[in-house]
Amino acid sequence: MSGFNTRAIHSGEEQKVFDAVTTPIFQTSNFLANDDKYLSETSETLYTRVGNPSIGVLERKLSDLFGGKGGVFFSSGMGAITTVFLTFLKSGMNLVISKNVYGGTQSLIAELPGMGIEVRRFDQSKLEDLANLVDYNTAIVYVESMTNPNLVLSEIENISQITKKSGALLIVDNTFLSPYNFRPLEHGADVDIQSLSKYVNGHSDVIAGFAAFSEGDSEKLVRQKMIRLGTNGAPFDAFLVS
């Protein structure tokens, strides 16, 4: 499968159940444990907060479309942002974030200083400001590829050159461009976060989020945090997005 449209329809759906053309909705909270393999904390057939076949299909599909090496499905875009932040930000670290970001994200970062996390803001049109703010205690640099709602574009490749020097993760909210128009992971980002409620879902009947990763270790860490926080998406929502 090479074309974007073909992959959007078929990617991730290799395992057919009873030869169903459309992946069924596995609307169940848990699964029968017939042997030890079902008890793995990464199993899609243990407990739906941990994994679910309907969710697994969507995660593989979106990871492919986003150009990632893994992805995690969340109950909302803010659920995705919060879980990723709490995975990588610890007391004593700092977050460097564009001044021009979504209001929900602004509300979230207002709580971080109370956790011992410093928040530093920069003007994304002045990358020299970013270079001066990033240091070796910077865990995350966060920008939106096209800002919500002001539609200001970020220079992702140039920003990634700065973050790589310090070892900070570059996390990009790509909601307003979608993977059809732009894929941040192909331009140096470490994590691509999107609210699926907007363009990816496209029909205003679901609240959901997704994070795709440039490498598998980060995906595993975020998935474990998602399981512990309970920010997982639901099977029916995964079906609606798929």
Q: Which helix (H) or strand (E) holds 68?
A: none
CA dist list (Å): 43 to 51, 67, 102, 149: 6, 23, 34, 38
List 64, 142, 173, 190, catalytic entry: 173
90 assigned to active site = no
Taking the C-alpha atoms of residue 13 and residue 212, their distance in angstroms, rounded to an integer, is: 18
> 69 catalytic, yes or no?
no
From the candidates 61, 102, 192, 223, which is the catalytic residue?
Answer: 102
* SS3 state at 100: coil
Nearest to 84 by CA among 210, 184, 208: 210
Q: In sequence order, what E strands does 114-157 have?
A: 118-122, 138-144
Let me know if 102 is a catalytic residue: yes
Q: For the chain, what is the radius of gyration of the CA atoms?
A: 18
198 is an active site residue: yes
**Is there a contact between 106 and 82 (Cβ–Cβ < 8 Å)?**
no
Catalytic residue among 7, 38, 49, 60: 49
Token pair belonging to 79: 């659920």
Where b means 16+ CB within 10 Å and e means fewer, 100-120 reads bbbeebeebbeebeeeebeeb
Q: Residues with catalytic annotation?
A: 49, 102, 173, 198
